[in-house]
A and B are shown apart, each in its own frame.
Chain A
Amino acid sequence: MNRARYWIAAAAVVGAPAVLFLCLSARAAPAAGEPARKPPQRIVSLAPSVTEMLFALGLGDRIVGATDHCDFPPEAKKIPRVGGLGRPNVEKLLSLSPDIVIATDLERKDLAEALRRAGINVLELKIGNFAELFEAERKIGDAVGEPEAAARQVREMRAQLDAAAKLSAGVPRDRLPKVFIEVWSDPLITAGGRSFLDDVIARAGGVNVAHDLVQDYPTINPEKVVQWNPDVILLCYMTEAKDAAAQIAGRIGWGGIKAVREGRIIADISPDALLRPGPRLVAGVLQLAERLHPPHAAQPAPRNPPEK
């Protein structure tokens, strides 16, 4: 074996990519000119929630591209599709020549960078709770040149949340209903403490039994639900969950759970109102709060001593 050749080969293996990388990064120096000062006229939304926020701001006619899931308001269905949630077809996206792309959960993190290099403004939002939702609304308002409308939206949403909070005002924390959120049944998936649903439950005046689990949507052992013994079971399937409520009562070992015994299984709130982090979410919270704290039952129902 020739030692020198070995080292040359090694140098080539290390060096060639390094040189290539340097060339590429030099070439990639931001060519994008100063973003246009006038508000963007061509917007691509990569999330149904963003589409809803834009429509709520009265900017529906400026959306030139949306995801396959953008179905609300009904006009949104007519917008050209660019792909799934956070996973656009890049060619399709570029062909729409947008001024700005607004996304929440990009599947590939390098996509935003690539789009920016192509001279497209990208607004990436993280919406994991109500504080972030309001923040996102404001950022969108700034980006599209409608800050006042966005601020008004946020005020309206806050007002609805306050209305929801009133329903459980004065109930001590340890008497708030314990809620088990069922996101899916096969496997059994709930929503953990870092999910948006956790915040939804809290704002509606409930306590998420899975609050201590760190994953957003953990797959759990059904035994846990028996152990938690929730007062209310909230079904949040993305698809309709009509017969699920009846089916839950027939599950092995679930008959003793308080929510099942008392029939407090909520299955009729539209999943979009609970899962889509957009302007309609506050309506979902209000609806849920009314179910968790029925207004006519003025005095809190007497609590049975916990059964074995």
Chain B
Amino acid sequence: MFVILLALLAGACALSLLAGPSWVPLSEMPESNIVRMRVARILLGIIAGAGLSVSGVIFQALLRNPLAEPYVLGVSSGAGLGAAVAIVLGLSGTGVWGVPALAFIGALFTILLVYGLARTSSGAVPVPTLLLSGVIVGAVLSSILMFIVSTSEGEKLHNVMWWLLGSLQALDWRPLEISAPPVAAGLLLAVLLSRDLNLMTLGEEPAAHLGLNVEQTKKLFFLVASLMTGATVAACGLIGFVGLIVPHIARLIMGPDHRRLVPAAALAGATFLVLADSFARSVLPVEIPIGVVTAFLGGPFFLFILRRRTSPYWR
């Protein structure tokens, strides 16, 4: 199965190398500047796709909730708000680290806030409270974000809107530099600790009985997943839907065992984003925001898979 997923990813990359407004003959490929640009986008797609999908897997396992993903927990809103603030303050444009840095801080701040709000006096963090506070904090942050959008004008507005819909456009290597290390580290950790994720899906009490330090594990994974989300959001804006549907698709193909699920979701997410980006940058003379493509193509595909199942899928 992994061979098939790897082959799909390779196929998507090959297709993506060819897709674009201009045709580059195979013989000129090695030294073509255009192909170098495409390679950068493909790499960014792989990193972002893997990062978003795996953080989705982590959130869904920790919260034992099929709707859990960075959006639900407010992490994306926090990152988005950070970026919007940076754009409005004029920190965007070229050669400045302002937007990614603030997006990162926003994501981290949000998960700490949500986690802190949900924590009871005894130190436990009940899942329903966590989800609720995530949704509410996300809504408040979104309202601030919309306030900023409504008061900004012209180019800045366009800039913020574009950013909210996401893009793999990489003019230099900076987006790759900021997103690759956190995503790679998070991926490695999720693979190494995938058995803990399996335990967590049993429920907190059984997991504790089986010798898992539940609160410790939750904290660690929240931090890791938020870092991965913050890193991809910082590099490519808010690309919706990937963190939600790719884990489900991977689970439908691979089953619920996280030892297989985590790498499968990473591969599937990477393939999905690489394909979506090829589409986004080559169908029209202008670029389409990739968030539009992921939702438009991903939604129906997911429903198709879901309807084909005869047995109830989530427990």
Contact check, B171 vs A243: say whether CB atoms are below 8 A apart.
Answer: no
Q: Is B219 an interface residue (CB 8 A)?
A: no
Kindly identify, within residues 259 to 315 of chain B, every residue whose CB is under 8 Å from any CB belonging to chain A: 281-282, 285-287
Contact check, B162 vs A218: say whether CB atoms are below 8 A apart.
Answer: no
Residues in A neighbouring B36, C-beta threshold 8 A: 252-253
Can you give 15 contacting A-B residue pairs, CB < 8 Å? A84-B153, A185-B94, A186-B94, A186-B169, A187-B162, A218-B286, A220-B285, A221-B21, A223-B22, A223-B37, A227-B21, A238-B154, A252-B172, A253-B37, A254-B171
- Cα(A246)–Cα(B152), bound, Å: 28
Most interface-central of A189, A239, A251, A253 (chain B CB within 10 A): A253
Given contacts A85-B154, A215-B286, A219-B287, contact A252 B171 (CB under 8 A): yes
Residues in A neighbouring B154, C-beta threshold 8 A: 85, 238
Residue from the list A84, A85, A187, A248 in contact with B167, Cβ < 8 A: A187
Query: Given A254-B171, A255-B33, list of 17 further CB < 8 A pairs?
Result: A84-B153, A85-B153, A85-B154, A87-B153, A184-B158, A185-B171, A187-B162, A213-B286, A221-B282, A221-B287, A238-B155, A244-B95, A247-B95, A251-B172, A252-B36, A252-B37, A253-B34
Query: How large, as a class, is the contact surface on chain B?
Result: 20 to 34
Query: Which chain B residue has the least Cβ–Cβ distance from A250?
Result: B172
Most interface-central of A220, A237, A252, A308 (chain B CB within 10 A): A252
Given contacts A84-B153, A251-B171, A252-B37, contact A223 B20 (CB under 8 A): yes
Residues of A within 8 A of B (CB): 84-85, 87, 183-189, 213, 215, 217-224, 226-227, 237-239, 241, 243-244, 246-248, 250-256, 308
- Cα(A239)–Cα(B154), bound, Å: 12
Write the nearest CB–CB distance from A156 to chain B, whole angstroms: 28
Residues in A neighbouring B90, C-beta threshold 8 A: 239
Q: Is B129 an interface residue (CB 8 A)?
A: no
Contact check, A244 vs B93: say whether CB atoms are below 8 A apart.
Answer: yes
- Cα(A145)–Cα(B169), bound, Å: 51
Most interface-central of A84, A186, A239, A243 (chain B CB within 10 A): A186
Residues in A neighbouring B40, C-beta threshold 8 A: 252
Residue from the list B34, B159, B281, B285 in contact with A186, Cβ < 8 A: B159
Given contacts A84-B153, A220-B285, A238-B154, contact A186 B93 (CB under 8 A): yes
Per CB-CB distance, the 7 closest pairs between chain A and chain B, nearest first, are: A253-B33, A253-B37, A218-B286, A244-B94, A247-B94, A247-B95, A253-B36
Residues in A neighbouring B94, C-beta threshold 8 A: 185-186, 241, 243-244, 247-248
- Cα(A65)–Cα(B36), bound, Å: 52
Residues of B within 8 A of A (CB): 20-22, 28, 33-34, 36-38, 40, 90, 92-95, 99, 153-155, 158-159, 162-163, 167, 169-173, 281-282, 285-287
Write the nearest CB–CB distance from A181 to chain B, whole angstroms: 13
- Cα(A70)–Cα(B209), bound, Å: 68
- Cα(A252)–Cα(B41), bound, Å: 10
- Cα(A227)–Cα(B28), bound, Å: 14
Most interface-central of A87, A215, A226 (chain B CB within 10 A): A226
Contact check, A252 vs B95: say whether CB atoms are below 8 A apart.
Answer: no
Write the nearest CB–CB distance from A225 to chain B, whole angstroms: 10
Write the nearest CB–CB distance from A240 to chain B, whole angstroms: 9
- Cα(A291)–Cα(B232), bound, Å: 41
Residues in A neighbouring B167, C-beta threshold 8 A: 187
- Cα(A183)–Cα(B20), bound, Å: 22
Write the nearest CB–CB distance from A193 to chain B, whole angstroms: 12
Contact check, A243 vs B287: say whether CB atoms are below 8 A apart.
Answer: no
Contact check, B286 vs A219: say whether CB atoms are below 8 A apart.
Answer: yes
Residues in B neighbouring A244, C-beta threshold 8 A: 93-95
Contact check, B287 vs A220: say whether CB atoms are below 8 A apart.
Answer: yes
Residues in B neighbouring A251, C-beta threshold 8 A: 171-172
Write the nearest CB–CB distance from A248 to chain B, whole angstroms: 8
Residues in B neighbouring A246, C-beta threshold 8 A: 95
Residues in B neighbouring A308, C-beta threshold 8 A: 28
Given contacts A189-B158, A250-B172, contact A256 B287 (CB under 8 A): no
Query: Which chain B residue has the least Cβ–Cβ distance from A236?
Result: B155
Write the nearest CB–CB distance from B233 to chain A, whole angstroms: 14
Contact check, B281 vs A252: say whether CB atoms are below 8 A apart.
Answer: no
